[in-house]
Amino acid sequence: MDSLIGRLWECDKTIFARILEAYTKHDMVRANGFANGLAEIRKMEKMIMHARLALEHILWNLKVVSTLKVVSMTDDLILTLASAIGVLRRIRTGIASIFPDTEKELGRIGNLLNGILIDAAQPTGMTINFETANEAAQKILKEAASVAEQRIKDKLSELPAGMPSRGEASERSSE
């Protein structure tokens, strides 16, 4: 994921440079075309960063649960696994159309976690509260989304303040 994010950022820089070049030449049609393409790339960057951070959060939770030496470890593990499965499903859905191979791998990981979850819950006779797990998954996804958004804002350049919107550029080019 890191190499993919790096490649997208390089592509982002290149396209942004082309936007600036077109903008300085007052070629608003080209600048807007590049800007629309850049907007799509930035959506992918955000989605991938979001997925990466959510997966890191799940990994961190699993590490914390595995180091606990308490009676409720099984309960914590079950809740963590259930929320991890929910996060993986949401990430998998978002990535499916763009990265089919990644979607398949996330499916395999989800199936593996599902098996572990069933094995962990079976000896205790515990029923899994998926509502609580889904709430935990939502919390993880929201946290990852806000961190991803901030990282992208920090990393990527914004369009110049005077850059016209798509509609303004169309009006100017038709004059």
Provide the percentage of residues in the chain whose pLDDT is more than 90: 4
> Does 160 or 77 have the greater pLDDT score?
77
Nearest to 57 by CA among 131, 140, 153: 140
Total domains in the chain come to: 1
Reported pTM: 0.55
What digits encode the pLDDT tens for the residues 83-97?
777 777 777 777 777
Q: Judge contact between 28 and 172, C-beta under 8 A.
A: yes
Rank 32-41, 68-77, 151-160, 166-175 by mean pLDDT and report only the highest.
32-41
Q: Of 128, 116, 109, 112, which is closest to residue 66 (Cα–Cα)?
A: 116
- Range in 39-53, 60-74, 152-166 the model is least confident about: 152-166
Which residues constitute the domain of residue 73? Answer: 2-174
CA distance 38 to 36: 5
